[in-house]
Structure 1
């Protein structure tokens, strides 16, 4: 596998394979992301065969990364529908919380 393909795959997975909103649907999300990755790799001039030569089934690899992300993220508090990067940080909440605003 070329260095270009390795770099592409590492960056793509790092950017796209975040903790899923619905962990029960990881297989569906992995399928969708695998298609997207294949398309973007082709646009970057990287044949899918180059990627598969090193990692095998790209959908399985993506599913593993999604599962790892879901486990690392842990259960979200009930009632929270915002992605973790959109959650207000605790310091901002403390400064603007009840009695401080």
Structure 2
């Protein structure tokens, strides 16, 4: 999985959710900004464990919300806007 914090620039991608959790907890404690508690998740492997090259601009597979030290995962429905961007709905 690839994890990205939308509150940071796109150069901040992570592969380790445990590291991301510690990092997010630290940001939340230092800043009090709840935006840092939102992390997007992209699949980077197929069902056979083969690496998938992510398409730039592809919508995330899920959103992870850091609430009271625990992750809450919500699926994402991405509705194309027609200009390469998406409206995201969390389910």
Judge same fold: TM > 0.5, yes or no.
no
Higher strand share: 2
Specify the structure having the higher radius of gyration (Cα).
1
Higher helix share: 1
| TM-score scaled by length of structure 1 | 0.28
Higher relative contact order, chain-length normalized (CA < 8 Å, sep 6+): 1
